Amino acid sequence: MPGASPTRIPTALTQGTVTKGGIGESTLRPDGTLKVTGEFAYASDLWHEDMLWGCTLRSPYPHAEIRSVDVSEALKLPGVYSVMTHDDLPATTHFGLEIHDQPVLAKDRVRYHGEAVAIVAADHPETARRAAAKIRVEYAELPPVHDEDSATGPGAPVLHPGRDDHHAPHVTHPNIVHRQPIVRGDVAAAKARADVVVRGEYEVGMQDQAFLGPESGLAVPAEDGGIDLYIATQWLHVDRDQLAPVLGLPQDKVRLTLSGVGGAFGAREDLSMQAHACLLAMATGKPVKIVYNRYESFFGHVHRHPAKLTYEHGASRDGKLLYMTCRIVLDGGAYASSSPAVVGNAVSLGAGPYEVDNVDMEALALYTNNPPCGAMRGFGAVQACFAYEAQMDRLAAELGMDPVELRQRNAMSQGSLMPTGQEVDSPAPVAEILRRVKAMPMPPERQWESSQSSGAAGGSTGVDVRALPGGLSNTTHGEGVVRGVGYAVGIKNVGFSEGFDDYSTARVRLEVAGGEPVAVVHTAMAEVGQGGVTVHAQIARTELGVSGVSILPADTQVGSAGSTSASRQTYMTGGAVKKACEAVREKAVRLGREKFAGHHPAWVSGGELLLEGGKVVTGDGEVLAALADVLGDEVIDEELEFRHRPTERLDLETGQGFGHVQYSFAAHRAVVEVDTELGLVKVVELACAQDVGKAINPLSTIGQIQGGTTQGLGLAVMEEILVDPGGKVRNPSFTDYLIPTILDTPAIPVDVLELADEHAPYGLRGVGEAPTLSSTPAVVAAIRNATGLALNRVPVRPEHLTDTR
């Protein structure tokens, strides 16, 4: 068993690698050493003496009435400590990010395949699984709702009767979670003027975030009757806010600490095992750990909304967009999750980064008996981007124009208006990033011939099959292989929108330790891999002029940092760290003035004093005092909140309003080679240009862009959760749900622009999501270019390319 320590819980998640450098430098991750030595404590690595293992029993049916639940056989199994069902819940029974419509454990009805029905705690994970299998649940199957027709047609079963959420009054059917139109200008008049009209119907499959570290956490009952939860999540405080009522505890007795997080991408925004582990810990009085395996993980979190999109664009002969219309139907699945916000994003970003004065748009999300869908990187904007970029290519073809030139002719720029009427009031270099990706050198043709062949690579002399579609399957040596090139560009919002009070908190302490000034940064920011901990240390070093920065573990003992999503954390919690550092700096300088006023006239002249290199210096760089001497035994400690400028709700009928904080733009050029006989695709290169405002850490910035690009590639050619018409998930494993391997992923050259947004800290622009948008349509455009096929659905599969369905 593990060594002397009774627990293996996160205490030093961010320590180990000594890092240097302020903003704009590619400093290294402070958690890097722990992560490469295997010492970093991920949620699934947590261990506590005497702990139990939790397990979840899930519904095998997408829609059924629960007639009875019998747990007696499960309880008899030696090693089982507790079995809980809905009837055992002590307080509030439902949770949800916005609408509390999801039961902690299903009561009398299950609404999706994989819904949690009962939970077990036992002394071995296999015992817990066997006990769960002994629970007898009697179901009576109900007809499933699986698409718009079955959800809103006559006689459709209402999935959530008696809705009283704030979207209920304005939806046209109770199985619609939320609907948002945007109407602007005069589409009918513009249509009469249009020389060319293109219309298309598009479909986006259900993508999974597929983070590598499955859902996990450890709940430890505390002596004060509260609970300590060590958890992999994206937002500690919103988890706590949902947990406390479910546990029947005051918020201050539900204490969360971030454990190591193995990726997120939106899938950790909703609760998964949090409430279950806490409930079992409270029921047994013992620590309870729950770790999902990959199979359960596919059922344990929301996915990207599958979408059906209908688009129409009209343009003049010279390629100027006159109008566009769209209807975007998102499948929200059984529970609301973040569907309302995804609807708002899909429609408000649905026209893409283009100027178009006349629009008639709508997006809606359905309640169905499919798996619940919610946040995934790109959040509604991904689905729309696939459709509007396909439309732009079709329009270019109709007009006989170069597709990049058509995009540039209609590209928005600073000062352009969104369909919502909101002015884009910071740089929007859409035409420029397109120019840049187009100008990048093309990858050489027929690289399988130029590559060296070796025995391991297979194939005949002079052919490296690893560079061909089909790879080591050795399906072609170049016969039937056609190259294609495609372009796409996208627009994503940054931060929480539509009037949400979006803020982050940071606490910064400055003190002398070992004779040197040291900054200690404490936030609740969920480090999920993106590198927020690296950036916080950089900001503290820049703002306070110290080399020693300590990043404390994230927990709920400090104010909320908001969610690690919406590309917002460097902007928001980075902004909060900057603000707290500025307040600390001001106090340090004041302290210096009090102590050393008589030593140098600059102390009292009123000029700006700075902290640099551990010293207080004048604006001209003259050293006034060592910061350590200024501080002495004093500790300066500031906890402050940072807010971005307010946004407002979109009008429910016109969709007009100042809905978003900031916009982010990326463009891709994809080069693919397609084995046209077998329908196999090799993406040869996926070049990206993106404006990031300011690259706070260039190494991490490029890492975000390459990672986002690759997830877009996955959606283009391989990733989809298959749900049959009966609502059952068919491929919940990494054997059947494929994500890109290193062989599937091409070179990803990145061109980073830094055009400052004056509204944002350091002028930065959220980075993480925009590249996930344009990657998918660029790859599909390249496949269309190679094959001449229409390809209105992603992921593109071999059967779509060979017409063998």
Partner 1 sequence: MRVTFTVNGRRHEADDVWEGESLLYVLRERMGLPGSKNACEQGECGSCTVRLDGESVCACLVAAGQVEGRDVVTVEGLADYARQRAEAASAGGTAAESASVSTSAADEQRWAAAPAADGVPLSPVQEAFIDAGAVQCGFCTPGLLVAADELIERNARPSDADIREALSGNLCRCTGYEKILDAVRLAAARTDHAEAPGDGNGPGPHSGHGPAQGEVV
Which residues in 704-743 contact partner 1 (CB under 8 A)? 706-711, 733-735, 739-743
Q: Distance of CA 381 to CAs 569, 641, 648, Å?
A: 19, 29, 19
Question: Given candidates 210, 247, 256, 661, which one binds partner 1 under the rule CB under 8 A?
Answer: 210
Q: Is 745 in the site for partner 1 (CB under 8 A)?
A: yes
Nearer to partner 1, 40 or 642 (CB): 40
Block residue for tokens 């190679």: 786
Least distance to partner 1 from the beta carbon of 793, Å? 23
User: Does the protein bind partner 1 through residue 646 (CB under 8 A)?
Assistant: no
| Residues 380, 351: Cα–Cα separation, whole Å | 12
Per-position b or e across 522-533, b if 16+ CB within 10 A of its CB: bbbbbbbbbbbb
* Binding residues among 746-765 for partner 1 as defined by CB under 8 A: 747-748
| CA separation, residue 323 to residues 193, 287, 650 (Å) | 10, 59, 20
Q: Considering beta carbons, is residue 95 or 737 the nearer one to partner 1?
A: 737
Instruction: Give the number of other CB atoms < 10 A from CB of residue 140.
Output: 10
Pick from 304, 326, 338: which is nearest to 178 by CA? 338
Alpha helices of 526-631 — where are they, by DSSP H? 532-544, 569-596, 627-631
Select the span of 184-192, 212-220, 365-373, 498-506 touching partner 1 (CB under 8 A). Answer: 212-220
Task: Specify the residue, 39 or 141, whose C-beta has the smaller distance to partner 1.
Answer: 39
Chain-centroid distance of CA 582 in Å reads: 30
- Binding segment for partner 1 (CB under 8 A), chosen from 147-155, 163-171, 263-271, 504-512, is 263-271
Tokens linked to 108: 């009398």
Cis-peptide, bond into residue 62, ω within 30° of zero: no
Inter-axis angle of helices 430-439 and 403-410, to 10 degrees? 160
The stretch near partner 1 (CB under 8 A) out of 32-40, 81-89, 380-388, 587-595 is: 32-40
In sequence order, what are the residues at sequence separation of 6 or more whose Cβ sits closer than 8 angstroms to the Cβ of residue 741?
none
How many residues bind partner 1 (CB under 8 A)? The answer is: 77
Residues 276-305 that bind partner 1 (CB under 8 A): 291, 293-294
Where in 692-735 does DSSP place strands (E)? none
Between 175 and 534, name the residue whose CB sits nearer to partner 1: 534
Q: Alpha-carbon distance 563 to 524, whole Å?
A: 9
> Which of 213, 319 has the CB closer to partner 1?
213
Q: How far is the CB of 530 from partner 1 (least distance, A)?
A: 7
* Of residues 344 and 707, the one with the C-beta less far from partner 1: 707
Instruction: Give the span between the Cα atoms of 651 and 28, in whole angstroms.
Output: 45
* Cα–Cα dist 720/113, whole Å: 16
Segment 303 to 362, residues that bind partner 1, using CB under 8 A = none
Query: Of 289, 217, 259, which Cα lies nearest the Cα of 10?
Result: 259
Q: Is 214 near partner 1 (CB under 8 A)?
A: yes
Shortest separation between residue 295's beta carbon and partner 1, angstroms: 8
- For partner 1, which is the closer residue by CB, 26 or 618? 26
Nearest CB to partner 1, comparing residues 189 and 212:
212
Q: Kindly state the DSSP code that residue 532 receives in the 8-state scheme.
A: H
Q: What residues between 65 and 124 interact with partner 1 by CB under 8 A?
A: 124
Q: Give the residue with the Cβ less far from partner 1, 60 or 79.
A: 79
Q: How far is the CB of 713 from partner 1 (least distance, A)?
A: 8
List the 615-618 sheet strands across, edge first. 609-612, 615-618, 623-626
**Could you give the 3-state DSSP secondary structure of residue 705?**
helix
Among 148, 215, 393, 464, binds partner 1 (CB under 8 A): 464
CB of 462 to partner 1, least distance (A): 14
CA atoms within 13 A on the CB side of 200: 20
Between 397 and 722, CB nearer to partner 1? 722
Gap between the Cα atoms of 731 and 718, Å rounded: 12
Please report, as residue ranges, which positions from 520 to 549 form the binding site for partner 1 (by CB under 8 A).
528-531
As a whole number of angstroms, the distance between CA 712 and CA 378 comes to: 10
* Closer residue to partner 1, CB minimum distance, 351 or 672: 672
**Phi and psi at residue 466, in whole multiples of 5°?**
-65, -20
Candidates 79-87, 261-269, 358-366, 793-801; binding stretch for partner 1 (CB under 8 A): 261-269
- Decide whether 264 or 406 has the Cβ nearer to partner 1: 264
CA distance 764 to 695: 7
Q: Which of 157, 174, 245, 263 binds partner 1 (CB under 8 A)?
A: 263
36 binds partner 1 (CB under 8 A): yes
- Using the contact rule CB under 8 A, the part of the chain among 16-24, 85-93, 248-256, 516-524 near partner 1 is 16-24
The span of 106-114, 344-352, 576-584, 698-706 binding partner 1 (CB under 8 A) equals: 698-706
Binding to partner 1 by residue 575, rule CB under 8 A? no
Instruction: Give 497 or 664: the residue with its C-beta nearer to partner 1.
Output: 664
DSSP E strands, 376-480: none
Considering only 274, 337, 538, 700, the residue that binds partner 1 (CB under 8 A) is 700
- Residues 468-527 contacting partner 1, CB under 8 A: 472
Residue 146: helix, strand or coil by DSSP? coil
Q: Can you tell me whether residue 598 is helix, strand or coil? A: coil
Close Cβ partners of 587 (under 8 Å, ≥ 6 residues apart): 636, 638
Comparing CB distances to partner 1, the nearer of 609 and 715 is: 715
Region from 43-51, 80-88, 336-344, 596-604 binding partner 1, contact rule CB under 8 A: 43-51
